[in-house]
Structure 1
Amino acid sequence: MFAFLLPVWRNRYFIPAAISGEFKSRVARSKIGTLWFVLQPLAMAAVYLLVLSEVLGAKLGGMDQKGAYAVYLLAGITAWGLFSEIVGRSVNMFLEYANILKKIRFPRIYIPLVILGGALINNLLLLVTVACLIAFNGFYPHLVWLSLIPATAVIVLLAVGLGIMLGILNIFSRDVAQVMTVVLNVWFWLTPIVYTSDMLSPKIGQFLQFNPMVPVVGIYHDAIVYNRMPHFETLLYPIALGTVLMCLSLFIFWRSGPDMVDAL
């Protein structure tokens, strides 16, 4: 089953070149280039911050430090941005590369890897930008930020596992992309990004424990906002779910391989 993954290692030098080419094509003829990758999430955070903090007077409970809520919001959006970009782009990735798939014979597994590479670069740019912005409010990067590495790995596991499956399903039913646009919007509000978990009732809080992004976003909040070492055992559930999704997606990818190009 996993034999189709072997070309990835044999042609491993092709993947960075493809990521670089895809990244350059997205900023071609753009006056501000890579800034577009951070302006959109920052603009969304600014709108939420203006409405919730300035208009509604929302503050981060338990912290009197100025700008704490803004940092909380930016930390959550940084985590969510990586997840939503991978899933959102993966849904249409095989359709985007349809012409290449029909004309050139190459390992199809390269496509999600190129999408992943581009998303990680965008997220790194966003994280660096966020680090610079929150430094003005006295929130400086510390060694505890290294805990973002395993959290990012879990996001990748969840997003790629889900994204490959949705990308294949979208080939045979184009409604999948439309449905996932709505699902991701609802999923965002079911994740404590613009609010804290202690603001919820116990019943809703228990329901949100089934959301695998809750503990992952929580690690970003612990590291960036509260400057404390997270509880990594909370990642066991998203790791287990992500592993199941990844194995299932690779199985579907393997079985549907001969039919994918014909359906495109």
Structure 2
Amino acid sequence: MSVFSLLKDVLRFRGLIYAITLREIKSRYVGSTFGPLWLIVPPVFMVFIYTVIFARLMQARMPGIEHQYAYSIYLCAGLITWNLLLELVQRGKGVFLEHANLIKKSNFPKFILFIPVVAVALLNSMMLLCLVLIFMLVSGYPLSLATLMIFPLLGITVVLGLAVGALLATLNVFFRDIGQISDVVFQALFWATPIVYPLSILSEPVQRILSWNPVFPLVLNAQKAMLGEPLSLSQLVYPLVFGLVVLLLAVLLYKRSYNDLLDQI
């Protein structure tokens, strides 16, 4: 299937994509008193907690950076990247089961079910990123051109998260324990990624071991971008290639098991 045919399918079923995306967003605050306000409150609260608790109360500091909010920015940059990846995987792995009735009753390319997942995850990440950038401006932390590199970094994160989510989506249909197993794996992966702790506290042998974690260079360079430090662009080849390979495996597995998948859901 060519890129042209994929784009053609997206345009043809844009109404379905829009409806699913809108439902995804509305389902997060349906029946609540404050409605869409809940899309903004959690990221605002998270930024507030990390800046007040870590910067003010715990007096956490980044090695080599004097600014009092540097650690808070470091932490938020890591969490923006991690939360985007995690949401793509968590929502992606249940796509086929969640939309089982729609899949059985309608004939459409199933890959479009992942587009709303990506759209909602990016919406949440962009809202958090905007809040962090506003906080940086208010707190007087210097912004630089390196900060713009956060966007291609998040693009690679989307590729990786989508690939893993798509692979787990097919496996989850046949092995329902996949959801629980992936939750445990990602809990371990979180602590194997320098999000809440500076990389400098780790020994070089440990750093080399953790560098096999494909999320490691994404988070590390996202933090460098937000802090205005030089990026290690060569490190980004690994997570990008890893994501593309996993995506290829996900497509092959889906095609080989398509008929059985329809029976299982």
Same fold (TM over 0.5): yes
Residue 27 of structure 1, aligned match among 15, 26, 29: 29
C-alpha contact (below 8 Å) 1:41/1:77 kept by paired residues: no
C-alpha contact (below 8 Å) 2:10/2:112 kept by paired residues: no
Aligned to 1:184: 186
The structural deviation recorded for 1:54 is 6.4
- Quote the sequence identity (%): 32
C-alpha contact (below 8 Å) 1:66/1:137 kept by paired residues: no
**Take 2:183 and 2:162, find their aligned partners in 1: how far apart are those partners?**
16
Residue 138 of structure 2, aligned match among 136, 139, 149: 136
Aligned to 1:119: 121
Aligned to 1:162: 164
The structural deviation recorded for 1:39 is 4.6
The structural deviation recorded for 1:13 is 2.9
Q: 1:197 to 1:102 in 2, by over 3 A?
A: same
Please, which moves more after superposition, 9-18 or 117-126?
9-18
C-alpha contact (below 8 Å) 1:5/1:109 kept by paired residues: no
**Take 1:66 and 1:56, find their aligned partners in 2: how far apart are those partners?**
11
Q: Does 1:247 align with 2:243?
A: no
The structural deviation recorded for 1:208 is 0.6
The structural deviation recorded for 1:139 is 2.3
C-alpha contact (below 8 Å) 2:61/2:68 kept by paired residues: no
Q: 1:32 to 1:60 in 2, by over 3 A?
A: farther
Corresponding residue SS for 1:105: coil
Give a deviation string over 1:157-176, Cα, whole Å, max 9, x none: 11111110101111111100
Q: 1:56 to 1:6 in 2, by over 3 A?
A: closer
The structural deviation recorded for 1:59 is 2.0
Corresponding residue SS for 1:136: helix
Give a deviation string over 1:183-220, Cα, whole Å, max 9, x none: 11111111101011111022211111101111111221
C-alpha contact (below 8 Å) 2:43/2:127 kept by paired residues: no
Give a deviation string over 1:49-89, Cα, whole Å, max 9, x none: 77766676542111111111111111111111100000011
Q: Does 1:13 align with 2:14?
A: yes
Corresponding residue SS for 2:124: helix
Aligned to 1:106: 108
Superposition CA RMSD, Å: 2.6
The count of residues paired between Structure 1 and Structure 2 equals: 263
Aligned to 1:231: 232
Structure 1 stretches lacking a partner, 5+ long: none
> 1:155 corresponds to which letter in structure 2?
T
**Take 1:173 and 1:46, find their aligned partners in 2: how far apart are those partners?**
40
**Take 2:134 and 2:150, find their aligned partners in 1: how far apart are those partners?**
17
**Take 1:73 and 1:40, find their aligned partners in 2: how far apart are those partners?**
16
Residue 153 of structure 1, aligned match among 137, 148, 155: 155
The structural deviation recorded for 1:239 is 1.1
The structural deviation recorded for 1:105 is 2.1
The structural deviation recorded for 1:143 is 3.0
> 2:82 corresponds to which letter in structure 1?
W
Structure 2 stretches lacking a partner, 5+ long: none
**Take 1:30 and 1:140, find their aligned partners in 2: how far apart are those partners?**
39
Aligned to 1:222: 224
Q: 1:48 to 1:176 in 2, by over 3 A?
A: farther
Q: 1:202 to 1:144 in 2, by over 3 A?
A: closer
**Take 1:169 and 1:120, find their aligned partners in 2: how far apart are those partners?**
24
C-alpha contact (below 8 Å) 2:67/2:141 kept by paired residues: no
**Take 1:77 and 1:233, find their aligned partners in 2: how far apart are those partners?**
22
